A and B are shown apart, each in its own frame.
Chain A
Amino acid sequence: MAQEKKPAVVLIAEDDQEMRSLLCDELYDLGVSIREAADGDEALRSVLDARPSLILTDLRMPAGGLDYIARLRTFAPGVPMVLITSFGDPQTKADALAIGVEAYFDKPVRLSELKGAVRRLLGPVVNGKID
């Protein structure tokens, strides 16, 4: 059955511009539609505006933090979340996983790894190239 060719929307929430740019460039290959947020509030607004297919978010950023993650979770239940955070500690990891993120990465993370996780999580939705 032919599916609706609707590109997946990935929300990238990262306050560092270069990092954000990098992530965008990397995920572009996946053929997903990218939405950017520079801080936690933007990310939440974006989620409320249009439900993404996946959220890739940093932890520590303005209006970020575990609370923000939790809120995200409630605003977008069922949406896979990938958390990346700079040199996170195990506790943070545990907390995040408790909230319900699907993947967790410590920066610096190899982008290939990150991409792989994203692809996996998007799985059935992705219409683009599947590597």
Chain B
Amino acid sequence: MLPSIPSLSAKIWFALLTVFLLLSLNTAASLLGSYRLTQLQERVERVHTELLGIERIHSTTVEAETGQRGYLLTGEERYLEPYRQALSRVDREREQLQSLLADDPVQQPRLQQMNQHIVGILAELRDTIELRKTKGFEAAIAVVTADRGKRLMDQMRALLIEMEQEEQDLLAKMQAKAAMHNRIMISTFVLASCLAGLGLIAASYRIPRTLRERQLTEERFRSMVEAAQTGMVMVDQTGTIVMVNKLVEQQFGYPREELLGRKIEMLLPERYRTQHGDQRSRFFHAPTARTMGAGLDLSGLRRDGTEFPVEIGLNPIQTEEGVQVLASIVDITERRQNERAIRHSEERYRRLVEVSPDAIFVSRGDRIVFINDQGVKLFGANSPDDIVGKSPLELIHPDDHAAVRARVRQLVEGCETVPLIEEKIVRLDGRVVFVETSAARFIGHEGAETQVVLRDISERKRADQTLQKERDFIDAVLETAGALVVVLDREGRILRFNRACEQATGYSSEEVLGRHVWDLFVIPDEVDRVKAMFERLRGGEPRNDYENYWKGKDGLLRRISWTNTVLTDPNGKVDYIVAAGLDITDFKHIQEQLRKTERIAELGTLASGMAHEIGTPMNVILGRAEYLFQRVTDEGTKKGLATIVTQVERITKVMNQLLAFARRKTPERRAVDLGQTIDDSLEMFHERMAHSRITVEKAIETNVPSVHADRDQLIQVLINLVMNSIHAMPEGGRLRLSLARESSHVCLGVSDTGQGMPEEIRSKVFDPFFTTKDFGKGTGLGLTVVKGIIEEHGGTIAVESAVDMGTTFWIRLPLGGARTADIS
């Protein structure tokens, strides 16, 4: 916010420094360059010297030769002068050259060679001179023309030329080098100068601008401070307020005139003032930007004497007047309140968590970071430390891991809360506990956290199980009960339909649920009655009983005896109607049969009684008719009397049959061979059948086992059936008797080819007193008795017949121990 002066200078300084460096570089480069040049020059000098040396030797040698030549030619001693001078010089020159080229490895061998040459040349010269001296011109010239000396001279010259060349090359190189250095130096110089120049130009632009900027910045600074959202107070080293902004005026309630020039302590409550003075000086000792009194509760003092909590930030500012402090003052009343509210809320939360009867833990990432006391107990730990740090999955039963992971995913994907799920947790001691958990995710200040509440539902599970067991028990009872149980709702719709009902009606439970009984099972005639019963129950009658018919899916009617009760809710309103019914269809049948039997028994008794009464009067009629018959002669009268006799006899027969039926003695059952019995019965009719042109067919299976039966009764049966057959075939025909074994039964058939019966007669043929025979024949009791006997043996009798197609009676008797029909 505040552009600090040092930084501005720094830029300038930097620029200037760069310029300085560049110039230094220049200087350095120049110095270096000249040093190099100097060196180079020295070297060049040396080369020159060397060249000179080489030349000198050459000229010395040539001089020597010249001297020699002169002497050789003239023989005069004075021509030897150059030779002698040369000789005296040559060694010295050789040495000089030697020392000059001492460090030049290339020249050294040449030098050596040259030395040799010189030695050779000088030797030759000497020799020739000597020869001239001694032997004369010819001898000397001979040596000379031998060219040895010349050769050496030439060689030496070549060598010297080489060496010169070498030196010249060196020279050239050095010169080139020097030129290069020059160039570098110049370019560097130029470049650096240019840059320096530019830098200076730039700096010269910046500086005034910076100064301007600084001014602007200061202005801006002032306006920013003024407009700041926090109170700003600038204080100098003495603690005097040098600047305040508008907010400070508002915060403390002072107009700025009353603040400027005053000590900062006036804005602090009394109790802080002395302390603050010390703090202030300490601060100025080592001014750094920091928050004042970190951790302390600071307060500001308003003009009206009230205090308010503040947060103060201190910024040391370097100004022209020295270091000053810019304090930012934030009224944190609201923040404090919020903090308090948050603390309260946290406190409340913490309390809630602590006293919660449910276990609560919080996990962050994959670790539990907090667990309440209940949680510690639930997991069987001794302290939260046993749990904190673990992954929640460690404590959840593996069976439920998938569900838990799915839930976590849901939470992460954005659901705030997820529904309750039941899980199994694993305590630290390994025991498994059923819990119901809910989870929520929230972003804490340390990241996303998941909060999980667990409720131990072991009790509930046990209760559920117990309940379930009870339900299962009730269901089992309902289902296996022999009684029909139907539960209806308030509207009469079926809620439960037990197995007995299903079996009785052929409807399955699913088919009938929700429907009304009177729509499904009740026959039309009884619908109103049933509905009325229902209404009575609904209206408050706690219980009633009645009977009705139920029609099954197969259309069959079953008689049900109902006991209906009502279940009410705690308010007394009808909740359910429970109807328990007993299927008394069979019972009724049996009752019917019993009644019939009783009636028949009654009839029997009646008959017996009657018989006694009418026997005598009948005899009187009979006797008198007989008597008269014997004493009259008139045919007509006789006929009439004969009729009376026969009729009385007919009546007698009926009475006998009736009495026979009524007097049935307890059958004596033995093993009876039916085949033999059939033969015996037929024996009685032998004559009769011969007379009436009836053929008898027998289809008796061999080895048919005996039945346990009363022989007399069976004979009675056979006689009856055979008689009927005979009567049915007045023109003759065929009588067929068959006997066959059928697994557990014996099947006896009596079949004729007589006139047969239409269906409406056939179906009634076993009814008591039902007869088709003309008046005077047949009594109508025969087949009833026959049926009775067969059924008492535990067997069945059936008849097949069609008009003009004959009639067949089928009798089936059980093998072995026949059981009497159970009428009880």
Contact = CB atoms under 8 A, between A and B. Distances in A.
A107 B659 contact: no
Interface residues of B, number: 26
Contact of B616 (A16, A91, A110): A16
B96 interface: no
Contact of A111 (B614, B616, B618, B626): B626
Contacts of A49: none
A112 interface: yes
Contacts of B663: 89
A14 B616 CA distance: 10
B627 A16 contact: no
B188 interface: no
Given A110-B626, A111-B626, A22 B656 contact: no
A26 B623 contact: yes
Contact of B627 (A26, A84, A91): A26
Contacts of A26: 623, 627
B655 A18 contact: no
B622 A108 contact: yes
Contact of B659 (A14, A84, A89, A108): A89
Contacts of B620: 16, 18-19, 22
B612 interface: yes
Contact of B622 (A25, A86, A87, A111): A111
Nearest to B651: A108
A66 interface: no
Interface string A31-74: 00000000000000000000000000010100000000000000
Contact of A86 (B615, B621, B649): B615
Given A60-B612, A111-B626, A87 B619 contact: no
A109 interface: yes
Given A16-B616, A107-B616, A108-B652, A22 B611 contact: no
B627 A109 contact: no
A23 B626 CA distance: 12
Interface in B626-642: 626-627
A58 B617 CA distance: 13
Given A87-B611, A87-B659, A22 B617 contact: no
Contacts of A85: 615
Contacts of A84: 619
Contacts of B665: 91
Contacts of B659: 87, 89
B624 A86 contact: no
B615 A108 contact: yes
B716 to A, nearest CB: 13
Contact of B619 (A19, A60, A89, A112): A19
Contacts of B655: 87
B617 A18 contact: yes
Given A60-B612, A86-B611, A86-B612, A108 B619 contact: yes
Nearest to B630: A112
A110 B656 CA distance: 15
A64 to B, nearest CB: 12
Interface in A3-26: 14, 16, 18-19, 22-23, 25-26
B648 interface: yes
A34 to B, nearest CB: 15
Interface string A82-103: 0011110101000000000000
Nearest to A86: B615
Q: Which has the most chain A C-beta neighbours within 10 Å: B612, B619, B621, B663?
A: B619
A84 B618 CA distance: 13
Interface of A is mostly: mixed
Nearest to B607: A87
Contacts of A14: 616
B612 A87 contact: yes
Contacts of A111: 622-623, 626-627
Contacts of B612: 60, 86-87
B627 A108 contact: no
Contacts of B615: 85-87, 106-108
Nearest to B611: A87
A112 B627 CA distance: 9
Nearest to B660: A89
A121 B303 CA distance: 166
Nearest to B624: A22
Contacts of A108: 615, 618-619, 621-623, 648-649, 652
Given A87-B612, A107-B615, A112 B626 contact: yes
Q: Which has the most chain B C-beta neighbours within 10 Å: A86, A87, A89, A111?
A: A87
Nearest to A18: B620
A109 B645 CA distance: 11
A1 B791 CA distance: 67
Nearest to B614: A86
A18 to B, nearest CB: 4
A69 to B, nearest CB: 16
B328 to A, nearest CB: 137
Given A108-B648, A110-B622, A111-B627, A87 B617 contact: no
Given A60-B612, A108-B615, A22 B652 contact: no
Q: Which has the most chain A C-beta neighbours within 10 Å: B627, B648, B649?
A: B627
A22 B665 CA distance: 34
22 contacts: A16-B616, A16-B617, A16-B620, A18-B616, A22-B624, A23-B623, A84-B619, A85-B615, A86-B611, A86-B613, A87-B611, A87-B655, A91-B665, A106-B615, A107-B619, A108-B621, A108-B648, A108-B652, A109-B619, A111-B622, A111-B623, A111-B627
Interface of A: 14, 16, 18-19, 22-23, 25-26, 58, 60, 84-87, 89, 91, 106-112
Interface of B: 608, 611-624, 626-627, 645, 648-649, 652, 655-656, 659, 663, 665
Given A22-B623, A86-B614, 13 more contacts: A22-B620, A22-B624, A26-B627, A58-B616, A87-B656, A89-B663, A107-B616, A108-B615, A108-B621, A108-B649, A110-B622, A110-B626, A111-B622
Q: Sort A-B residue pairs by CB-CB distance and give the 5 closest, nearest first.
A: A86-B615, A87-B611, A108-B619, A107-B615, A22-B623
